[in-house]
Chain A
Amino acid sequence: MAKHSQIIDSAISQEYKYGFVTDIDQETIPPGLNEDVISIISSKKNEPEWMLKWRLKAYRQWLKMEEPNWAKLNYPNIDYQAISYYAAPKPKEKLKSLDEVDPELLETYNKLGIPLEEQKLLANVAVDAVFDSVSVTTTFKEELKKHGVIFCPFSEAVQNHPDLIKKYLGSVVPTTDNYFAALNSAVFSDGSFVYIPSGVRCPMELSTYFRINAANTGQFERTLIIAEAGSYVSYLEGCTAPMRDENQLHAAVVELVAHKDSQIKYSTVQNWYPGNPKTGKGGIYNFVTKRGTCLEENAKISWTQVETGSAITWKYPSCILKGDHSVGEFYSVALSNNFQQADTGTKMIHLGKNTRSTIISKGISAGKGQNTYRGGVKIMKGAENARNYSQCDSILIGDQCSAHTFPYIDVRNSSAQMEHEASTSRIGEDQLFYCNQRGIPMEDAVSMIVNGFCKDVFKELPMEFAVEAQKLMEVSLEGAVG
């Protein structure tokens, strides 16, 4: 076991050495943030006037806001003037074959069960002609086009579909929403735009496409998904493979808009660099604002997240249930090992009649990790017969970690039914003994129990990711039990 964890540790903690940057090609604005910087970002992206105005408005509001400090997180103050807000995608030197890749990294990929061709992409190896990303992309693009689905980088959508962007951008997460959303609105780099026309069931999991096309979208990502009446889309962001990024601060915004009878399923697997496991140094600060609104009746938004990476996770995917009979769901597994801190949960705001929401949250703390569930369920006056069920369970592994639960419940309608349950415990000694007695080693027993604990959430993930997510738990937990 010790050997394994050493390998993983070294694979994760070593410096990223598969690419270098030539100074001549690099297009980076010097660190600092002011209106000029925003104008430069906007002009580099060749954005129309209205987009720049929108960014500047957000920036001016951001200046007036204060960084939130209510979350149960400890991190040094962020110097927003020391960050460079624009860097063009950096070209990386291609390797010739997988043989050149660090074998330990490949082992991690194998443990996660990532297909060979995808390993090459992830490890930045030039792919052969048969599995050419361009050709695959083209096939996918044609298929999507046939159904009228728009799926493109955000900056492309600004150019080609300005009406849709103007109509929906900021409609769910206004620029004034919170400190990090305002910052994102001012400086967002790129992201994805998805539009599903009415009555269309998106022919593929957009995850599949995304994995192959995973572009370097930078630290301030912006995603907007619009599902017209009667449509369906499943979208997956992130990747189970360990992701390295030199930018410490990430502040993404995701907006979902679901019209009548439509359904959006949004899944996230996040495995950013969690910092040095021994000292807690480094690691990504992940401050994300995700929100969806069920605008009309019978709409459904479902969030699924598996959060195993990042030093700091600050994330509350939420649903505004405005349309009558609309449904919101939130399934989450958050793991904090070593020095990781996670403050995550959801917000369900019931406005329409007969709206329903389900929250299933599983927190796992190990090492010196700190895991907090923070949720809000609001049932407003007009939400007749609204229904909420929340379940938040935590598991503790080791005696230096901690787990907290803060569900805020606000009920303003007597016909509503609201239930919340939570439990916290460690892995039972008798459970472990039972496994050991049957010849299952400690490490496997722990991951088996933890995976069983997370099953309710994993079953919501698209299939191939459910398998990888389980393996990811195993890898992330290695070394947590001695």
Chain B
Amino acid sequence: MNYLQKQFDALLKYWPNEDQALRDVRLKSFDQFKTLGFPTKKWEEWQFTDFSAIEKTDYRLSWASDLPQIPDQIPGQIEDCHTVFIINGHYQPPLSDIPDGVTVVTGLDHFRSNPELYAINGSKNPFLALNTSMMNSGVHVLIKPNTLIEKPIQLIYFTTEFSDPLMNHPRFVFHIGKNAQANIIEHYLGVSTLSYFVNSVTQVILDENARLFHVRIQEEAATGSHTASTHYEVKSNAQLNVTSITSGTQLFRHDIQLNLQGKGAEAILNGLSLTDNSQHQDQHVVVNHENDACQSHQLFKYILADKSSGVFNGKVVVHKHTKQTDANQSNKNLLLSSTALMNANPQLEIYSEDVKCAHGSTTGQIDPEELFYLRSRGIDLKKASELIIGGFAKDILDSIKNENVKSYLNNKITNWLESVLNDG
């Protein structure tokens, strides 16, 4: 806690000429964070995750001097994309490629035009408050109305080569204008043997009739900690398609909030979580059906190896007086070792009658009969396991339309599986 106060003071000193309005938001948010404090086991929504490592480590904000020599080859790049680079929290316009119809603005400019987006409205999420008080990086992407961006826009948030534990609080805003369509990849990567902390907040707004494919990839280094909040607002007849793949960090916590605000809004939310060693991944999803004829479909899968642990908490809330709601939620978990641990809590809160809602959750291991079937046909144990687990994992990728993105993720899953099965 102490280090955060010190860093906050340093931040205020570093940008002495900030807008007063922005400064007020920072001060207010930091007060909110101090009131809330770090989550403890007694907080219902946070009880399964231990944040003491973040609390105890003396992280320092990343300054301009922390920008390393730009490596020749930045990992994680997906073929045939418009790529935007952010390295150790510093946006790199010269390296980045921004297509027509897309505007990327800095944090301050965006804040001036949209201050209401930064209000935390008494949120009980301390990491959102912390991010708002210290937001120091990130970009704001606006897709102009009536534009179609063919190629995916890949944002690479790369953390590497630093001298002492760093932290960053990136704030992203993706605004998809009316009738526009885009494909945005939000990609977190890290290469480091030192501990670091990324606490990101992403706000996604889809105007009427807009369409967005949002792929979120979290491949932080094993030494990192990543907390994130993603907030979607979907207006009428807009379509949102999200795929979130996470495999990195020691500690990962992601709060997803999806508000279907307009009539006829639709959303697909898919997630895959791959964990091994002693990783811990915690995802909380809240889907709010606020208007009529909205649809939401969720599928979250976890594959847990070694001593790793996972938490899934999904909630669908159907608000009063909404009609023709269709919501479903599915959570499937595969335990690969006897020491892995899974906590699932899929919830429904329904305040309206005209609904069709369902949820399901399963947790189990590889079916020995399936293994036997394959082995009796001459496929060795490792290959057979790979086939079964791969099949389980890869249907998450089905809703991704772009072949390059799909093949990148496909390779990623295959490589992860190989490393896990070889260790075992």
Contacts and interface: CB of A to CB of B under 8 A. Distances in A.
Interface in A272-323: none
A414 B356 CA distance: 32
Interface string B324-343: 00000000010111101111
A418 B312 CA distance: 15
A396 interface: yes
Residue with the highest number of chain B CB atoms closer than 10 Å, among A394, A401, A410: A410
A404 B343 contact: no
A420 B340 CA distance: 19
Contacts of B365: 414-417
Contacts of B349: 402, 404
A417 B347 CA distance: 20
B354 A410 contact: no
Contacts of A70: 44
Nearest to A417: B364
Interface string A404-421: 111111111111111111
Contacts, number: 109
Interface string A391-405: 000101111011111
Given A421-B358, A423-B357, A406 B336 contact: no
Given A396-B353, A399-B352, 16 more contacts: A394-B350, A396-B350, A396-B352, A407-B347, A409-B342, A411-B335, A414-B335, A414-B340, A416-B363, A417-B365, A419-B362, A420-B361, A422-B346, A422-B358, A424-B355, A424-B356
A412 B341 contact: yes
Contacts of A406: 345, 347
Contacts of B44: 70
A214 B333 CA distance: 48
A300 B344 CA distance: 26
B359 A422 contact: yes
A398 B353 CA distance: 6
Contact of B357 (A413, A419, A424): A424
A254 to B, nearest CB: 27
Interface string B85-111: 000000000000000000000000000
Interface of A: 70, 381, 394, 396-399, 401-426
A409 B361 contact: yes
B321 interface: yes
A425 to B, nearest CB: 5
Contact of A425 (B333, B347, B355, B363): B355
Given A407-B345, A420-B360, A414 B350 contact: no
B358 A399 contact: no
B351 interface: yes
B346 A402 contact: no
Interface residues of B, number: 33
A62 B337 CA distance: 42
Given A404-B350, A407-B361, A414 B338 contact: yes
B125 to A, nearest CB: 19
Contact of B359 (A405, A413, A418): A405
Nearest to B347: A406
A291 B84 CA distance: 58
Contact of A415 (B338, B347, B351): B338
B335 A403 contact: no
Interface string B402-419: 000000000000000000
B68 to A, nearest CB: 41
A413 B361 contact: no
Nearest to A390: B361
21 contacts: A396-B350, A399-B354, A402-B349, A402-B352, A403-B350, A404-B349, A405-B359, A407-B361, A409-B345, A414-B365, A416-B363, A417-B363, A417-B365, A418-B361, A418-B363, A418-B364, A420-B344, A420-B362, A421-B359, A423-B359, A426-B355
B348 interface: yes
B361 A426 contact: no
Contacts of B340: 414
Given A399-B354, A411-B333, A417-B364, A422 B342 contact: no
B105 to A, nearest CB: 42
A423 B358 contact: yes
A245 to B, nearest CB: 31
B359 to A, nearest CB: 5
Contact of B337 (A402, A408, A414, A424): A414
Given A399-B321, A409-B343, A425 B338 contact: no
A70 B44 CA distance: 9
A425 B327 CA distance: 10
A247 B194 CA distance: 64
Interface string B357-399: 1111111110000000000000000000000000000000000
A403 B351 CA distance: 7
Contacts of A416: 335, 363-365
A398 to B, nearest CB: 6
A419 B333 contact: no
Interface string B230-249: 00000000000000000000
Contacts of B357: 423-425
Nearest to A387: B364
Given A409-B361, A425-B357, A402 B350 contact: yes
Nearest to A384: B338
